[in-house]
Amino acid sequence: MPNNTYNLELVKEQNRTMVIEILNSLGTTTRTELANITGLTRATITNIINEFLEVNLIEEVGTIDGKVGRKRKLIKINEDAFYVVGIEFGVNIVRTGVYNLNGKNISFSEKEINSYAKPNDILENIYYIVDETISNFKFDVDRIKGIGVVMPGIIDSDKKVLESVHPFPLLKNYPLCKQIEKHYKIPVWLENDANGAALGEKWFGHGKNYQNYVFVVGDAGIGAGIIINGQLYRGAFNSAGEIGHTLFSRDFIQLENEGGLYKLTEKYKLPIEELLKLSKNNADIYETLCEINQAFAIGIVNLVNTISPEAVIIGGRILNGGYHLIREIKRIVEEYSFSLESPKILVASKKESAILAGAASIAIEQIVSSPYQFLLNS
């Protein structure tokens, strides 16, 4: 026999999550508009809004004229209702930030680390930099509801562990998040960096306008986060979006070997940032960068022709190479996409901080998915 009480509670929770996500997308709206969009009754919407008002999750911000002369109250998410911490693992560096619900970075710190260090040493560095970030946070620390962590590689988000060796070999299957959770006594979630950036766009950027889109990271390597029907798609084995490892030629060369910015470093033996600056005045470096960008664009075309997204959002250090690269990607995608309408080609809303903001958004996504556990339990 089905558990009707459980099913009712699940539906109630899903309705509240849906309303928060719609409020995030719309910015400012009314109860009537929410009822029309969601299909929920006006009474149900009123109950949900009253719950949100009680815990300061939303706020009333004025009125507009309604039918028969009635004034309708405008409502929006209270961007400072709670805060989250984002932790971004890069190769030999860790960045942290405190974010509000509008994607505003309240506090930021970064620290160089050794990606090959022992887990305990990495943890000590994390504690140091998170403590530093929180110490610069001028609000009530108890309003920090969770921590989102992102890193490259294959992530089991349920177990909260890194499943692949590169680029943190000693962290494979190590319970890093559980240790952080134990230390700070707040929930911690782990996700792949490109997936995090895709969720960041959902909460803070272009993703508010689309239900189906991809975030493609063009950097030393290449990866993509995929959003389908408003939800992150990880695949059966957590490796969806690893387009850098798709094959680029009959010689079984992988895409990121030809379309990743590491190829610049490999050829010229200088850091990526320096080479991107030099490309503006050095014809040889410029030509190599354009070849890399073309391969990157081909990878995007293959992704577009596979999943048919409404938009492709591009992030990573490829953006520092100049807007001419984005124009060329757009041209190639429009020319070689098989569908009758090409997706929008957009630049990451948060530019160079897209992945860190994505880390924060992971915590927001999880908190909003369980509103009774994290938001409405007071």
Strand partners, 234: none
Q: From the CB of residue 346, how many other CB atoms can be counted at a distance below 10 Å?
A: 21
Residues 6+ apart with CB under 8 A from 338: 305
Q: What is the pLDDT of residue 378?
A: 54
CATH number for the domain spanning 56: value is: 1.10.10.10
Domain boundary among 77, 106, 126: 77
Domain total for the chain? 3
Prediction pTM value: 0.93
Q: 185 or 5: which carries more pLDDT confidence?
A: 185
Q: What is the pLDDT of residue 8?
A: 87
pLDDT per position as a tens digit, 25-36: 999 999 999 999
Beta strands, E only, 40-182:
58-65, 71-77, 83-90, 93-99, 105-112, 144-151, 155-156, 161-162
Q: 361 or 90: which carries more pLDDT confidence?
A: 361
Residues 72, 165 within the same domain: no
Q: Is the dihedral of CA 72, 36, 100, 57 positive or negative?
A: positive
Model confidence at 9, pLDDT cuts 50, 70, 90, reads confident
Residues 283, 173 within the same domain: no
Residues 217, 313 within the same domain: yes
Domain boundary among 19, 47, 77: 77
Whether 359 and 88 have beta carbons less than 8 Å apart is answered as yes
Residue 1 has pLDDT above 70, yes or no: no
Question: What is the helix (H) or strand (E) element at residue 232, kind and residue range?
Answer: strand 231-233
Model confidence at 371, pLDDT cuts 50, 70, 90, reads very high
What span, in angstroms and rounded, lies between the C-alpha atoms of 109 and 331?
38
Residue 202 lies in a domain: no
Q: What is the pLDDT of residue 3?
A: 63
Q: What is the pLDDT of residue 68?
A: 62
Model confidence at 70, pLDDT cuts 50, 70, 90, reads confident
CATH number for the domain spanning 214: value is: 3.30.420.40
pLDDT per position as a tens digit, 132-167: 999 998 888 999 999 999 999 999 999 999 999 878
Q: What is the dihedral of CA 22, 27, 30, 33, to 10 degrees?
A: -40
Q: Residues 105-128, buried b or exposed e (16+ Cβ, 10 A)?
A: ebbbbbeebebebeeeebbebbee
Residues 174, 96 within the same domain: yes
Q: What is the dihedral of CA 63, 67, 68, 73, to 10 degrees?
A: -20
* DSSP codes, 185-223: -S-EEEEEHHHHHHHHHHHHSGGGG-SSEEEEEESSSEE
Q: What is the pLDDT of residue 193?
A: 96
Model confidence at 63, pLDDT cuts 50, 70, 90, reads confident
Residues 340, 221 within the same domain: yes
Residues 331, 363 within the same domain: no
Residues 167, 252 within the same domain: no
Model confidence at 64, pLDDT cuts 50, 70, 90, reads confident
* List of long-range contacts for 36-40, beta carbons under 8 Å, 24+ apart: 40/15
Residues 176, 106 within the same domain: yes
Whether 331 and 59 have beta carbons less than 8 Å apart is answered as no
Cα separations in angstroms, 355 against 157, 256, 293, 317, 358: 16, 19, 20, 11, 5
Domain boundary among 57, 77, 97: 77
* Residue 273: domain span: 207-348
Residues 218, 323 within the same domain: yes
Residues 146, 231 within the same domain: no
Residue 294 lies in a domain: yes
Percent of the chain topping pLDDT 90: 89
Q: What is the pLDDT of residue 172?
A: 95
Q: Region 8-28: what's the mean pLDDT? A: 94
What span, in angstroms and rounded, lies between the C-alpha atoms of 139 and 132?
14
Q: Region 74-82: what's the mean pLDDT? A: 96
Residues 71, 87 within the same domain: no
What span, in angstroms and rounded, lies between the C-alpha atoms of 347 and 10?
37
pLDDT per position as a tens digit, 297-354: 999 999 999 999 999 999 999 999 999 999 999 999 999 999 989 999 999 999 889 9
Percent of the chain topping pLDDT 70: 97
Q: What is the pLDDT of residue 283?
A: 97
State the amino acid at position 184 in one-letter form: Y
- Tell me which residue has tokens 């250090």: 317
Q: Region 97-112: what's the mean pLDDT? A: 95
Residue 285 has pLDDT above 70, yes or no: yes
Q: What is the pLDDT of residue 65?
A: 78
Residue 66 has pLDDT above 80, yes or no: no
Residues 152, 228 within the same domain: no
Average pLDDT, the chain: 94
Distance of CA 178 to the CA centre of its chain: 21
Residue 67 has pLDDT above 70, yes or no: no
pLDDT per position as a tens digit, 180-203: 999 999 999 999 999 999 999 999
Question: What is the helix (H) or strand (E) element at residue 28, kind and residue range?
Answer: strand 28-30
